[in-house]
Amino acid sequence: MNKALTYLAVALSVAAMPAFAEGDAAAGEKVFKKCKACHAVGEGAKKKVGPPLNGIIDAPAGQFEGFKYSKNLMELAEGGLTWDNATMAAYLTKPKDVIPKGKMAFAGLKKEEDIANVIAYLATFQ
């Protein structure tokens, strides 16, 4: 798929996502346990299989220095991919819909409430 079609696919998948109300950060902390094997947050967070997620909400994609992101993610980042709430929600729902050739093996979260809660939790690490 060429870059223009990839950007269009990402935009359409994000536009198709339901609107997410503000979630519950405390509940999101519990759901985030599914993410902890690969990602860290909080003071002293270091890269694991995936990059630390401090400051991820509303940040441009691919910004953690020293982490080797997929070529696909970096192409999308160059095109302006930003982890706003809608994009993060789409990614947490089905990562391969947002970054088709990305490294993340996680299939996604099924419940909209869990997604909103994880986003609220991540937002506490700005």
What CATH number did the domain enclosing 10 receive? 1.10.760.10
Q: What mean pLDDT is predicted for residues 37-55?
A: 96
**Looking at the 3D structure of the chain, how many domains does it have?**
1
pLDDT for the residue 86: 96
The more confidently predicted of residues 10 and 117 is 117
**Residues 101 and 70 sit within 8 Å (Cβ to Cβ):** yes
As a whole number, mean pLDDT of residues 64-93 equals 97
Entry pTM: 0.82
Cα–Cα distance list, 25 to 74, 89, 102, 121, 123 (Å): 29, 15, 27, 4, 8
How much is the average pLDDT of 90-103? 96
**Domain hosting residue 29, numbered range:** 3-123
* pLDDT above 90: percentage of residues in the chain: 82
State the pLDDT confidence band at 57, using cuts at 50, 70 and 90: very high
- Residue 16, pLDDT > 70, answer no
pLDDT for residue 27: 98
Side chain identity at 121, as an amino acid letter? Y
User: How many angstroms separate the CA atoms of 36 and 59, rounded?
Assistant: 20
